[in-house]
Amino acid sequence: MSRSVSSPEFEYTPSKNIYWEKLKNLPPDMKGLAFQDQDTEIHRGNWRKQFRVSSNKEVGSEIPLHVEIGCNAGHVCLEWAKQNPDSLYIGIDWKFKQIYRLAEKSKNFQVKNLLAFRANADRLSYMFEKGEIDFLHMFFPDPWPKKAQKKNRTADQDWLKSIAPLLSQRGVFHLKTDHAEYFEFIMENLAALSDIYEIIELSRDLHANNPDAKLLKIPQVTLFERLFIKDGLPIHSVKVRVKPGI
């Protein structure tokens, strides 16, 4: 990969952001609810054991693990976690304050099946082991529209290839964006990786048949998605799974 953050030698550096310090020194009642930087890579392969679910119950691989990339302050994954106590959720974002807020909300709502990661999505294959993720969600990633910015796009071909092994056999990766050009870029990357990925659902206007789309609420739609629907923008959506044997 061209992005240096994706190299095995990469190390996060301390930030002056006050929430970096807050995440580093979480109060006792928030310990273990949020991880940041290198700490998001220390339990690779063992994340299911880090959830504060019932102490006398072993959390096995049969319990679905969802990972939401670019979760912001976790509007969607927090609601999912509340509504589905038998599934596990990890929300990842590189914004310090939003991840701290997510961990705070988990504590306040006593949600035990959600962890918040302050990390760069480029590091996904260092955070998770082969087959560890069942459902990967990436909703409205920053499109980096300018020519000089395109190298910053997360879902490039190298990244899509690197994350494929992380999905379990029942694994599904769902991606949504309002940005038609970024979507076509992703579709081209998926086509180039057609030996790895199989498209199982595809729409270039996800809510076309729903006259009440403007009324949809989180978590059926994301925070950004609601704004885009209000603006009349079509939502592009693709779900893929990894072909057997990858």
Residue 35, strand partner residues: 117
Segment interacting with ligand SAM (CB under 6 A) among 47-55, 106-114, 156-164, 219-227: 219-227
Q: Is 178 a catalytic residue?
A: no
Site map 137..156 versus ligand SAM, x via CB under 6 A: --xxxx-----------x--
Q: Token pair of 97, please?
A: 């304050």
Asked if 122 is part of the footprint of ligand SAM (rule: CB under 6 A), the reply reads yes
Q: Which of 39, 93, 142, 195 is catalytic?
A: 142
Q: Token pair of 100, please?
A: 């701290």
Asked if 206 is part of the footprint of ligand SAM (rule: CB under 6 A), the reply reads no
Q: SS3 for 130?
A: coil
Asked if 132 is part of the footprint of ligand SAM (rule: CB under 6 A), the reply reads no
List 132, 134, 178, 225, residue binding ligand SAM (CB under 6 A): 225
Q: SS3 for 173?
A: strand
List 113, 120, 189, 237, residue binding ligand SAM (CB under 6 A): 120
Asked if 222 is part of the footprint of ligand SAM (rule: CB under 6 A), the reply reads yes
Residue 208: how many CA atoms within 13 Å on its side-chain side?
8
Q: Token pair of 229, please?
A: 């629907």
Nearer to ligand SAM, 40 or 113 (CB): 40
Question: 67: which residues sit within 8 A by CB, 6+ positions away?
Answer: 89, 90, 92, 124, 128, 133, 135, 136, 137
Q: Which residues are catalytic?
A: 142
